[in-house]
A = this chain, B = another copy of it.
Amino acid sequence: MSMDFAPPKYAQVMTAIQQRIRDGEYAPGDMLPSETQLVREFGVGRTTVVRALQTLAMQGWIEREHGRGSFVKGRPESPAERVRPGLSTAEHPESAENIVSVARVPAPRHVAKLMGVDERTPVIARHRVTRQGDRVSAAETLWFPLEIALGTDLDKPDPLRHGVRQHLQAVKHLRIDHVTERLTARKPTKEEAELLGSSSPVLGVLATVHDPAGSVLLVLSVALPGDLHELEDVYQVS
């Protein structure tokens, strides 16, 4: 059975309006249709339209003025836009083609340090790649402490179709709370260079993923070829 879940109506209204703003149909400064008009257009209750508009306002897409109307601000630029390679790596679904190898290996020095265990403690290393068309656009390694991987499929070479984060949540109720990322420029390791088919500089992302208590769920390292990737960040100055 095709059980595709429809997103909630208020979210549908939000996406529709966001799309129109991006398309320029609603330009910055324009007044949006009134709540009543939107109610008619989308065939939903005012509660729903109001919730969509108020959420958009909180996210900075629009501005609402009591008695006048809602106006396009067109500047959804918020700290939410930051690229977060660490998190997206933990969330991305896997497929058979992008698993390179999964093995139990002694923890490399820098990984052991981040996990707070002794060097050479055995850990699970899960090597993957991401493809963009024909080319390998990223080489990723995820390291798991044994006690985390215990009872999960993280130590098996089968693809996790819902991603690592989902798997941890579903199988062991482990929740990701925060991520520490360290970014640097470096040469790819021999293995990475082979996978990427190039030894030009890479952006190295080393991320430590924690649960709410601060324990390390995994450490991950991503090598992003410099000629393929740019990380963008916009911020307000106090």
Contacts and interface: CB of A to CB of B under 8 A. Distances in A.
Interface stretch (A130-138, A141-149, A178-186): A178-186
Interface of A: 58, 77, 79-80, 82, 84, 87, 176-187, 200-204, 224-227, 229-237
A203 B176 contact: no
Given A184-B203, A185-B201, A176 B224 contact: no
Given A58-B58, A79-B79, A200-B187, A182 B235 contact: no
How many copies are assembled? 2
B181 A233 contact: yes
A233 B231 CA distance: 13
26 contacts: A77-B178, A79-B79, A80-B178, A179-B234, A179-B235, A181-B232, A181-B233, A181-B234, A181-B235, A182-B232, A182-B233, A183-B203, A183-B230, A184-B230, A185-B185, A185-B186, A185-B204, A185-B224, A185-B225, A185-B229, A186-B226, A187-B200, A187-B201, A201-B201, A201-B226, A204-B226
A183 B183 contact: yes
Given A180-B234, A181-B235, 4 more contacts: A183-B203, A184-B231, A185-B185, A185-B202
A178 to B, nearest CB: 5
Nearest to A223: B185
Contacts of A236: 177-178
A27 to B, nearest CB: 13
Contacts of A181: 232-235
